[in-house]
A and B are shown apart, each in its own frame.
Chain A
Amino acid sequence: QSVLTQPPSVSGAPGQRVTISCTGSSSNIGTRYEVHWYQQLPGTVPKLLIYANTYRPSGVPDRFSGSKSGTSASLAITGLQAEDEADYYCQSYDISLSAWVFGGGTKLTVL
């Protein structure tokens, strides 16, 4: 059972927009600590996709965007492409656990 809750799967057709939610609590996302997102393509290691709620590392297309509100966060992907098919994980810090925590991951399928 992950501390942060994500939907197990989402899907969309090429060109569409999809969002992935990440729900936490007042001891993690609801604090001053930021939410980050990682993309794990099939057979590869996780890669930082969004950091500090909304920022993209160099090289990440602007089709990917993040937001945070209250005890939840979201990752949005616009103009869906076949190569976006991957597992996506949210991550934050939990002050009650004194631990960095992840969501359970969401598998994105491009139809």
Chain B
Amino acid sequence: EVQLVESGGGLVQPGGSLRLSCTGSGFTFSSYEMNWVRQVPGKGLEWISYIMSGGSPIYYADSVKGRFTISRDDAKNSVYLQLNSLRAEDTAIYYCVRKTVGTTWFDPWGQGTLVTVSS
């Protein structure tokens, strides 16, 4: 079974940092492009970052560019998202999602990890 499991969410103060992790199983992790998508509870979906198989290129949404950093470790079947300079508006559920090379849809989605930015 293909599975993505996120971890690392929690409560952080404005201006703080957090590192999210996502571990995949049930598929050849290194062959897939990985993304992070977030959702403010009760609101819509926002794509925020992409990393190609092999680690390059990398893309970010304008809303997080310069503050968030995506990386991957294929030996550990994992993708990471470093969140710096966090703001209240970054409060959301962060989903790790898989994308197949040559396609533009996301499948599957992890269960998500909640990041709350508050003092």
Q: Which residues of A contact B (CB under 8 A)?
A: 2, 33-34, 36, 38, 45-48, 51-52, 57, 89, 91-93, 97-105
Contacts and interface: CB of A to CB of B under 8 A. Distances in A.
A51 B95 contact: no
Contact of B44 (A47, A51, A97, A102): A102
Nearest to B107: A48
Contact of A2 (B44, B109, B110, B112): B44
Contacts of B104: 33-34, 36, 92-93, 100
A45 B110 contact: yes
The A contact surface, by secondary structure, is strand
A99 to B, nearest CB: 6
Contacts of B15: none
Contacts of A52: 103, 105
Contact of A48 (B45, B46, B106, B112): B106
B91 interface: no
B27 interface: no
Consensus secondary structure, chain B interface: loop
* 10 cross-chain pairs, A with B, having the tightest CB-CB distances, nearest first: A48-B107, A36-B105, A100-B47, A102-B45, A51-B105, A45-B109, A105-B44, A104-B44, A93-B104, A46-B109
A99 B60 CA distance: 8
Interface string B32-44: 0001000000011
Given A48-B106, A91-B106, A99-B59, 11 more contacts: A38-B106, A48-B107, A91-B105, A97-B62, A99-B61, A99-B62, A100-B106, A102-B46, A102-B47, A103-B44, A105-B44
